[in-house]
A = this chain, B = another copy of it.
């Protein structure tokens, strides 16, 4: 074939790795879903089926598990960096590696007022994510670290308006000065430098997202996203930019006036609809 293999990569997706820290009676747990992806000299694997430069995805899986012990003493970012660097540094045909990590949160249970030493419940739906890329060998090597929060479902029951919008012949939406605003924030950000503490940076970013959503009197979800972006950049100077994708999870006031009833619905009972939903996107950069 006279065509071009424009781009390619391969790896192992969704290695579900649970790491227990049991050096002292109070255990810790880390629950990671790790995806690895390799770029490099793999043209022959595609063009002729020659696998001699292909490190099997099964090997990538094994390595991800072993590194969870060997390089699991620090943060998730440090683990992902070590893993990505290993592939690029130690495997000749690999020129670039990306490691994506989804962190499932567990919350220590409380029994009779005391935190338990080795029992947790899952805490969702939101997840923390980490994305690391390592490109190039030797002195020219470049590593980047990104973070994210996924499915942070948040709702405010007032402090949100939507009106004075553009209308045409298909516009029937009524204006409102008071509505529920609800979304499920998916945000990713890039670091331009290493923050003093990766976990503290994440906590500060999450606090900025949640705090801005709560306290900004919103004229539109668009405006909320812009202010969230700015608050994150204010909170953590090492964040270079943040991209947010946020569905407008519509809560429609249920119209009681159609019924034979004295009961009135003064902004109290809503139908939480599934689809369709608004979808608002923004990237805010320093």
Contacts and interface: CB of A to CB of B under 8 A. Distances in A.
B9 A119 contact: no
A24 interface: no
A10 B265 CA distance: 28
Contact of A220 (B54, B66, B111, B278): B54
Q: Which of A13, A215, A276 has the largest number of chain B CB atoms within 10 A?
A: A276
A202 interface: no
The main secondary structure of chain A at its interface with chain B is mixed
B226 A47 contact: yes
Interface stretch (A128-136, A138-146, A153-161, A193-201): A153-161
B211 A263 contact: no
A192 interface: no
Contacts of A191: none
A109 B154 contact: yes
A214 interface: yes
Contacts of A170: 59, 62-63, 66, 259-261
A91 to B, nearest CB: 7
Contacts of A264: 69
Nearest to A156: B119
Q: Which of A49, A213, A258 has the largest number of chain B CB atoms within 10 A?
A: A49
Nearest to A266: B22
A240 to B, nearest CB: 11
B254 A65 contact: yes
A17 B270 contact: yes
Interface string A212-246: 01110011101101110110011000000100000
- In the A-B complex, the 3 residue pairs with the closest CB atoms: A49-B219, A169-B260, A122-B153
Interface of A: 1, 3-22, 27, 29, 31, 35, 37, 42, 45-59, 61-63, 65-66, 68-70, 72, 90-91, 93, 106, 109, 111-112, 116, 118-126, 152-159, 162-173, 180, 210-211, 213-215, 218-220, 222-223, 225-227, 229-230, 233-234, 241, 247-248, 251, 254, 256, 258-261, 263-265, 267-286
Given A51-B166, A111-B210, 4 more contacts: A1-B227, A6-B241, A16-B274, A50-B164
21 contacts: A3-B286, A11-B278, A20-B157, A49-B223, A51-B162, A51-B166, A52-B165, A56-B173, A57-B276, A59-B173, A69-B256, A93-B166, A109-B210, A119-B210, A119-B213, A122-B153, A122-B154, A123-B123, A124-B125, A168-B260, A170-B261
